Amino acid sequence: MDDTPGTPTAPLRVGLIGFGLAGSVFHAPLVAATEGLVLDTVVTRDPERRRQALAEHSQVRFADAPGELWQRAGELDLIVIASPNRTHVPLAEAALRAGLPVVVDKPLAATAAEAEELAALAAARGLLLSAFQNRRWDNDFLTLRQLLDQGALGEVWRFESRFERWRPKPKGGWRESGDPAEIGGLLYDLGSHLVDQALTLFGPAASVHAEVDVRRPGAEADDDVFIALTHAGGVRSHLWMSATTAQLGPRFRVLGSRAGYVKYGLDPQEAALREGLRPGRDGTPWGEEPASSWGRLGAGESPLTGGGEAVPSVPGDYPAYYAAIAAALRHGGEPPVTAVEAAAALRVLEAARTSAVEGRTVRMEKI
């Protein structure tokens, strides 16, 4: 077999920048599980993280700094950026200028303008640029899309979506830093997922109202957020993201003219990855959940008392993201999540920040 990088029969070689939570739990395992991709190099100086990477990816190489990847760009076919948020834009720009396609963990940038500049650079150089929005392949999201395609809810009036946790004590670190340069806080963390899902399902937002709070003693960054979107098509999305929720609400509650769909609990894939389970290993089914966790579809009845009809959850499929990335690199075409889509979500997050600070509803055409 011809092992020259980029040839049709050779695996596409991936350089991964960062091996913290995002790199070790999500990107490295999913890259390794994708046919046609191979994890070639991990950028980290941390000895423990290197040991962790070698334990699972025995052939991986290491680099101390991202610049080492640019120096041997001809040996690589894709860069994955899973480093802290403040580094996303400069590293993505450097990779693109080195002639390398790029996947960036969410959020792609701090602002829509920065995301659009990266998109323009990638387009000018004919390179793939994608934001990692794995939650489009959650089991609940895939199930809801199927119900919408079937018309099971009728005309959708309201979409309620939650990522709620009970973490009364801050954990610290850059994700909870109050320094704006770190791009921390839940608005840009979990909000990136929730807004992306809402826009993907129901189209662009016409207006945004938000409440952004810092609740916990000692906390610096926002830890309790609510966003209300009115989509151009008329659907209203109500999105909650919180670390201060002592009683968790449903993951989804979607109300339509014919029926509603209610789903509790999180997609099982993140927990499985954290536990060391891997897609495709030993033929074990991936992304499936027991019938006791399925959502319910109905009208005029409470799902908490068994009302409505149980809807089998479509298995979650995070591996589909990198399979689509590999296909786009091999055959051309758009990546599964585009930089333009990432910019649209960032525009909503910026509007949410403005709404919370100024205490008003933001009309998107006026921001």
Q: Tell me: do 91 and 141 sit in the same domain.
A: no
Amino acid at residue number 87: T
Q: Could you give the number of structural domains in the chain?
A: 2
Q: Do 222 and 287 share a domain, yes or no?
A: yes
Q: Within this chain, do residues 161 and 243 fall inside the same structural domain, yes or no?
A: yes
Q: Do residues 109 and 246 both lie within one domain?
A: no
Residue 272 inside a domain? The answer is: yes
Residue 8 pLDDT: 55
**Is 364 within the bounds of a domain?**
no
> Which domain CATH number covers 327?
3.40.50.720
Residues 193 and 258 in one domain: yes
Residues 6+ apart with CB under 8 A from 88: 81, 104, 105, 107, 108, 109
235 occurs within a structural domain:
yes
pLDDT at 1: 34
Domain-located, residue 61 = yes
Outline where DSSP puts E strands in 108-242. Answer: 129-132, 156-164, 205-213, 224-231, 236-242
Residue 5 counted as domain residue? no
How does DSSP assign 38-79, residue by residue? Answer: EEEEEE---HHHHHHHHHH-TT-EEESSTHHHHHTGGG-SEE
* Alpha helix (H) residue ranges in 47-189: 47-56, 67-71, 88-97, 112-125, 139-150
**Could you tell me the residue range of the domain that residue 157 belongs to?**
136-317+349-358
pTM across the whole model = 0.94
Residues 33 and 23 placed together within one structural domain of the fold: yes
Q: Looking at the structure, do residues 303 and 330 belong to the same domain, yes or no?
A: no
Same domain for 144 and 258, yes or no, is yes
Same domain, 41 and 129: yes
Cα–Cα distance measured from residue 11 to residue 247, given in angstroms and rounded to the nearest whole number: 47
Q: pLDDT value at position 282? A: 73
Given this model, what pLDDT does residue 365 score?
81
- 192 and 326 housed in the same domain: no
Q: Would you state the pLDDT for residue 2?
A: 43
Amino acid at 218: G
Which one, of 233, 203, 186, lies nearest residue 352 by Cα?
A: 186
Residue 255 and residue 156 in one domain:
yes
Residue 210 domain flag: yes
Whether 251 and 110 share a structural domain:
no
CATH code of the domain in which 175 resides: 3.30.360.10
* 2 is a domain residue: no
Q: Could you tell me if residue 343 is inside a domain? A: no
Task: Return phi, psi of residue 291, to 5°.
Answer: -60, -25
CA 47 to chain centre: 28
**Which ranges of the chain have pLDDT less than 50?**
1-3, 5-6, 367
